[in-house]
Every structure is written in structure tokens, then in C-alpha cells.
């Protein structure tokens, strides 16, 4: 089932909007293959001045400082090209890091040095290093493709080795961002992903069935055939 809030933005089966951006990206990229309407609202609601959010309204998911790499790779795939360009330049300014410099709520800052904090279970936790997700060459190359600017496409070529390694070794678990990346990269990459990952259909179904959202699995599988 596709779960949505009253405004049409996708949620998980518990009604949580923390992965809404990822689901919106998948719906926008694959729903045409499953006769499933995409997010009823324009996708640009998730972006403002090059910064994206997990959900446009839900707290804390409307905090642009908890937006992770896996959300970005899915959502940027279906953003208008002018929006993708804003995201690209904002990413450059951050030194090729994602936006998640906070854990969830505003003010819950991460630090790239030893520090302690109270986690979401109310317990004290200490980490030696904690910072935003780094964007590697294949992630930057994916954003470059989404901008539709040919002069940025060489960045995709720089990321080709890591994209190939991801197809070969990144198997099992959550495949959403990689599936969006190969779909945008083109038919050859889709074929290469499926050749390397022989059980991709079964694992995709297992992932989404466990969340009571099997429709996502079916539209992704149909879109990658």
C-alpha cells in the first residue's frame, strides 16, 4: 500500500514522514511503470534554496540539517533540473557533504570530534566522530546528471568506478538510492546492476514487504526490467 498524509506526501506504514523524500523520489521515478500516481504535490515543496528536507511540514523531518545522503540520491532523481542545479551548488559550498549535521531536531548538532549527547532513548552516548554523510564521486556524478547540464557530465565519468563497485558489492539491505542512481544513469547501468545482483528482485520485495508497502517493490521491479 502507498501511505500518504492529508496533503498527499508519502509516509511509511506507521504514518511517519522521516523517509518521505526517499519515497517521493521513488514514486516520481518508477510510478509510471505501475500505474501509481506520484506525490500529489509538486516535488519542489521538499526544496528551498538548494536545501532539501525529509518532509515539507512534519517536525523534525522539516529540518534541513537532518537530510541524509540516501534521501538525497532518491529525491534529486526527480527534481526539476533548475532545482537540481541549486542543490548541486549548495553541495559544492558544503564541501561535498550531505546536509545532516544534526541528528533530528533543530539544535541536536553533530561534531567531528569526541563528544557526548543524550540519544533518542534518553541515554547518554559518546562518539569519537560524527558528521554529515560524505558525498563520493558517484554521488556527485548522479547529482550532475540530474542537473541536465552537459558541462557537468564529466563529474559522472569520475564516479563511474565507484558506481560500478556499488553495483558489484552493495547487495542486500536497502537498495533504494542505488536503484535510483542506475535508473537515472541509463539502461546499460540498469542491466549491469541486475547482472551483478542476481537476487535483486527477491531482496527488493523482501525489503518493502517487511514494511507493508509491497507496491513500491513492484513499481521498482517493473521500472528496472
The model's pLDDT over 28-70, given as tens digits with 9 standing for 90+, comes to 999 876 665 555 456 779 999 999 999 999 999 999 999 999 9
Asked if residue 25 belongs to a domain, the reply is: yes
Q: Are strands 51-52 and 10-11 parallel, antiparallel or unpaired?
A: unpaired
Asked if residue 117 belongs to a domain, the reply is: no
Question: What whole-number distance in Å separates Cα of residue 92 and Cα of residue 95?
Answer: 5
Task: Read off the DSSP letter of residue 70.
Answer: H
Contact (Cβ atoms closer than 8 angstroms) between residue 156 and residue 201: no
Asked if residue 67 belongs to a domain, the reply is: yes
Question: What whole-number distance in Å separates Cα of residue 65 and Cα of residue 55?
Answer: 12
Q: Strand ranges (DSSP E) for 12-132? A: 47-48, 51-52, 115-118, 124-127
Asked if residue 153 belongs to a domain, the reply is: yes
* pLDDT computed for residue 83 by the predictor: 94
Question: What whole-number distance in Å separates Cα of residue 69 and Cα of residue 66?
Answer: 10
- Number of structural domains, the chain? 1
* pLDDT computed for residue 85 by the predictor: 97
Question: What whole-number distance in Å separates Cα of residue 161 and Cα of residue 174?
Answer: 21
pLDDT of 90 strictly over 60:
yes
* pLDDT computed for residue 122 by the predictor: 83
Q: Domain containing 158: what range?
A: 3-98+131-223
Q: Give the pLDDT mean for 8-30.
A: 94
Amino acid at each position: 500500500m502507498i501511505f500518504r498524509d492529508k496533503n498527499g506526501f508519502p509516509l511509511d506504514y506507521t504514518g511517519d514522514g522521516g523517509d518521505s523524500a526517499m519515497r517521493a523520489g521513488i514514486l516520481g521515478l518508477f510510478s509510471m511503470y505501475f500505474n501509481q500516481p506520484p506525490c500529489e504535490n509538486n516535488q519542489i515543496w521538499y526544496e528551498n534554496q538548494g536545501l532539501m528536507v525529509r518532509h515539507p511540514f512534519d517536525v523534525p523531518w522539516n529540518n534541513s540539517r537532518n537530510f541524509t545522503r540516501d534521501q538525497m540520491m532518491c529525491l534529486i532523481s526527480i527534481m526539476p533540473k533548475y532545482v537540481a542545479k541549486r542543490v548541486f551548488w549548495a553541495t559544492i559550498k558544503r564541501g561535498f557533504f550531505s546536509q545532516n549535521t544534526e541528528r533530528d531536531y533543530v539544535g541536536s548538532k553533530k561534531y567531528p570530534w569526541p563528544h557526548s549527547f543524550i540519544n533518542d532513548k534518553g541515554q547518554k552516548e559518546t562518539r569519537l566522530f560524527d558528521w554529515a554523510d560524505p558525498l563520493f564521486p558517484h554521488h556527485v556524478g548522479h547529482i550532475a546528471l540530474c542537473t541536465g547540464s552537459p558541462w557537468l557530465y564529466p563529474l559522472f565519468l569520475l564516479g563511474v568506478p565507484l558506481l560500478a563497485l556499488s553495483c558489484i558489492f552493495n547487495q542486500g539491505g536497502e537498495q533504494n538510492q542505488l536503484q535510483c542512481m542506475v535508473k537515472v544513469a541509463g539502461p546499460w547501468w540498469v542491466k549491469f546492476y541486475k547482472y551483478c545482483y542476481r537476487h535483486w528482485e527477491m531482496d527488493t520485495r523482501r525489503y518493502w514487504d517487511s514494511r507493508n508497502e509491497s507496491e513500491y517493490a513492484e513499481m521498482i521491479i517493473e521500472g528496472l526490467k
